[in-house]
Chain A
Amino acid sequence: MRESNDMTDVRSARPQTNGGRRMSGIGRVLVAVYAVLALAAIGRSFVQIATKFDEAPLAYSLSALAAVVYVLATIALVRSGRGWYRVAWVTIAFEFTGVVVVGALSIAFPELFPHDTVWSWFGRGYLFIPLVLPVLGMWWLATHRPASSQPTGQVATTSGADAA
């Protein structure tokens, strides 16, 4: 299954954008929405950390981490190649896990998250975009593998793990 010319595939992964012109177009919209969300998360965590970090260090550190991950995901979605494809999967899976776990916890145990984060109540403060976006992102990644779909098995485990 694994070919010896594994490394050269990174180069040949670039033509993926040519396949399905229409889809790659919608993918662009996805990237744009990610960029806006990244901007929103950066802005919010900047304000939180600059003005009231002492009140809830955990929640605000989480906000900052989420912001960094959104930025990484945005970059990874734009870049081509196997490495960035993997980064995209990891960051988007992280976001999805985050929004599901923090969302559920914030409803079940509100006292844990007295301060809002991007993910509280499944991203209600952001029109539930943080919940919907990773799902669309994972679907887009699954339908746009780099040329030779070597990491299929790995990809399946990643998405399976965070769905659980």
Chain B
Amino acid sequence: MIEWFTWVQLAVAVAAGLLCLVLGLAGRVPNDLANGALVLVELLLIVQLVVAIAAPAFGNQPTGSVLEFYVYLVGALLIPPAAIFWALLERNRWSTVILGVAALSVAVMVYRMLQIWTVQQA
């Protein structure tokens, strides 16, 4: 895990979450901006997955449970597509709020991944 990249990813997920919450509560139906923000969150997760697979080969080992790390990562990968799928099906403001909730959930999970990789003594 590349620490600075994870922090950037965390910031993007939080920003995307807040943006979608604001847009949703302002009554906007899911637009390209909101969906695009979630696509960006998903792309960064895929990069994170590639980094996580490659990192141990370069001597960058997780300090915590590898299994737990991947459960979080795979779980997080599922969330944005589900939220976007929902947003495309149901065109109302609450779908935008759900996009926001999804991005914030990803942010929490990315933070846990960071902890598992760097802090835990297991």
Contact of A25 among B68, B93, B101 (CB under 8 A): B93
**Please, how many angstroms separate the alpha-carbon atoms of A40 and B105 in the complex?**
10
**A20-52 contact mask (Cβ, 8 Å, vs B): 1 or 0:** 000001101100110110011001101100110
**Please, how many angstroms separate the alpha-carbon atoms of A50 and B102 in the complex?**
27
The answer to whether B75 and A39 have CB atoms under 8 Å apart is yes
Chain A interface residue count, CB cutoff 8 Å, equals 17
Interface status of B71 (Cβ within 8 A of chain A): yes
The answer to whether A51 and B95 have CB atoms under 8 Å apart is no
Residues in B whose Cβ lies below 8 Å from that of A50 = 67
The answer to whether A51 and B65 have CB atoms under 8 Å apart is yes
The answer to whether B65 and A28 have CB atoms under 8 Å apart is no
The answer to whether A29 and B72 have CB atoms under 8 Å apart is no
Residues in B whose Cβ lies below 8 Å from that of A36 = 79, 101-102, 105
**B80-100 contact mask (Cβ, 8 Å, vs A): 1 or 0:** 001100100010111101100
Shortest CB distance A113–B (Å): 19
Interface status of B78 (Cβ within 8 A of chain A): yes
User: 6 closest Cβ contacts across the A-B interface?
Assistant: A25-B94, A32-B98, A43-B71, A36-B105, A47-B68, A28-B94
| 15 A-B pairs in the complex with CB atoms less than 8 angstroms apart | A25-B93, A25-B94, A28-B90, A32-B83, A32-B86, A32-B101, A39-B78, A39-B79, A44-B71, A46-B71, A47-B67, A47-B68, A47-B71, A51-B67, A51-B68
